[in-house]
């Protein structure tokens, strides 16, 4: 038992559980507030994809080199990690829609400062680093607030589809459409910083849409909790979320699995895959770019596939099983010299990763008490990212002493064993039976 109380049915009024719903994937868009919120998220993700390209060329236009670009990118990561936990605490204390508006306004002002500075001349590297830090901090507040507001504006049965929609559009916009649009803009304007006006426009429209999100429904009985104010209250909130996480086996062991997965997988994917592609397939940058696109397409289709169906009855089994099995093709990536095989394997990895992620986000929203959902979401966010820099830092030096084939085999197979350990130790098979979510 995870300490969440007795299992209860969560059937929305008027639902027909036994009938297949062909419109399940887009059903959340029937809710006005979700349409406004989702539209804002779409624009924010698109803007983030644009900014990734605009930022790079603005650094170059300012006379910066690889070190300067690293400083700006690191500032964004530091802002994200530094404010992930405070963002979760804020999401449980401040009305979520107000928090989302504040983040959108802050992002808009930060990018506008770059666009305005760009009209006067090259943008200083410290200026770009500060903006990157602000945007990272904003993401640390935005993600927990967005995750926490969904269960308050959608019925439980539609959360899987809502998470699938977000999971599908994120790679499509942030990794493809946004960067492509920014590339066209950067090529068309006199200075790269001028293209920031396109990012400004996207953030501005997103802010306008958030203004139309109505107040959340009143808290259900027992949901509101009296907590101390000030620093004591913040520590109380953090301690409550940590204690809940530690005492909830399926949650704790999934986070531990995610930590191990990030450590063994992200470094080879981000650092070594480009060199494997160059050495075995060819030096044309488009070859690596196409592989990333295939990986992203797999993620889009995985999100759409899982969210088009009902939440699996054995949801923890499905999630851990798909996560563990879908990393196995990554081992083949490090062995093969066939481009089509690499593409197929990365498609399968992307498909399985997004499939599991959509279920995971839905489980947080349905099984974590609402009054601490923001904090638990931020812990998930923080834990998932904490070891990413270490993984990337270790991958390069490790490849100097260990054959790259061995590294990829380890990255592809270790997650399966980690997932099996987490599944067994946490008693996930018993837990999902004791807490059915398909009623």
pTM for this model (two decimals): 0.78
pLDDT tens digits, 268-316: 888 788 888 888 888 776 787 788 788 888 988 999 899 888 889 999 9
Ranking 23-27, 51-55, 285-289, 327-331 by mean pLDDT, the lowest is 285-289
pLDDT at 417: 96
Long-range pairs for 30-37: beta carbons < 8 A, 24 or more residues apart: 31/153, 31/154, 31/158, 32/214, 33/153, 33/213, 33/214, 34/150, 34/153, 34/154, 34/162, 36/209, 36/210, 36/212, 36/213, 37/100, 37/146, 37/149, 37/153, 37/209, 37/210, 37/213
In the prediction, which pLDDT does 308 show?
86
The token pair that represents 85 in the structure block: 């936990």
pLDDT value, residue 202:
95
Q: What is the pLDDT of residue 35?
A: 94
Answer yes or no: is pLDDT of 425 > 70: yes
pLDDT value of position 6:
36
| Whole-number average pLDDT of the chain | 86
Given a contact cutoff of 8 angstroms between Cβ atoms, the answer to whether 203 and 142 are in contact is no
3 state DSSP class of 367: helix
Sequence-distant (≥ 6) Cβ neighbours of residue 245 within 8 angstroms? 251, 252, 255, 376, 379
pLDDT at 73: 81
Please state, in angstroms and rounded to a whole number, the distance separating the CA atoms of residues 359 and 368.
14
What is the rounded distance in angstroms from the CA atom of residue 413 to the CA atom of residue 422?
Answer: 15
Question: What DSSP element (H or E) covers 285?
Answer: helix 285-307
Task: Out of 33-42, 224-233, 287-296, pick the least confident.
Answer: 224-233
Walk me through the domains of the chain, giving residue ranges and CATH numbers. Answer: 30-215 (1.20.1250.20), 236-439 (1.20.1250.20)
């Amino acid at each position: 038992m995870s300490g969440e109380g007795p299992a209860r049915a969560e059937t929305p009024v008027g639902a027909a559980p036994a009938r297949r719903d062909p419109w399940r994937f887009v059903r959340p868009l029937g809710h006005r507030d979700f349409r406004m919120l989702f539209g804002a998220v779409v624009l924010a993700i698109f803007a983030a994809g644009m900014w990734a390209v605009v930022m790079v060329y603005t650094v170059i236009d300012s006379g910066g080199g690889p070190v300067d670009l690293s400083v700006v990118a690191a500032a964004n990561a530091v802002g994200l990690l530094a404010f992930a936990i405070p963002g979760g605490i804020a999401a449980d204390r401040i009305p979520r829609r107000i928090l989302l508006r504040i983040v959108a306004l802050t992002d808009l002002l930060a990018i506008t400062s770059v666009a305005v500075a760009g009209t006067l001349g090259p943008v200083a590297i410290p200026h770009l680093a500060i903006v990157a830090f602000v945007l990272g901090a904003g993401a640390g507040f935005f993600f927990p607030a967005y995750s926490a507001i969904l269960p308050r504006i959608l019925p439980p049965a539609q959360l899987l589809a809502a998470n699938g929609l977000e999971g599908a559009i994120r790679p499509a916009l942030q990794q493809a459409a946004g960067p492509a649009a920014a590339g066209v803009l950067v090529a068309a304007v006199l200075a790269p910083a001028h293209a920031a006006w396109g990012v400004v426009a996207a953030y501005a429209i997103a802010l306008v849409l958030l203004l139309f999100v109505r107040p959340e429904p009143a808290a259900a009985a027992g949901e509101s909790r009296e907590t101390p104010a000030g620093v004591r209250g913040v520590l109380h909130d953090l301690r409550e979320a940590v204690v809940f996480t530690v005492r909830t086996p399926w949650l704790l062991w999934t986070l531990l699995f995610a930590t191990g997965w990030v450590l063994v997988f992200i470094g080879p994917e981000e650092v070594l895959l480009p060199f494997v592609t160059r050495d075995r397939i060819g030096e044309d940058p488009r070859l690596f770019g196409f592989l990333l696109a295939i990986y992203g397409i797999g993620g889009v289709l995985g999100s759409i596939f899982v969210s088009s169906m009902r939440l699996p009855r054995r949801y923890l089994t499905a999630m851990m099983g798909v996560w563990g099995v879908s990393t196995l093709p990554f081992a083949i990536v490090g062995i093969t010299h066939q481009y089509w095989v690499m593409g197929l394997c990365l498609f399968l990895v992307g498909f399985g990763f997004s499939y599991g992620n959509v279920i995971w986000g839905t489980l947080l929203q349905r099984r974590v008490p609402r009054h601490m959902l923001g904090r638990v979401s931020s812990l998930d966010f923080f834990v998932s990212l904490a070891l990413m820099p270490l993984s990337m830092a270790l991958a390069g030096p490790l490849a100097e002493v260990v054959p790259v084939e061995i590294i990829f085999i380890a990255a592809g197979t270790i997650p399966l064993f980690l997932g099996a350990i987490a599944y067994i130790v946490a008693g996930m098979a018993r837990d999902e039976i004791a807490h059915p979510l398909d009623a």
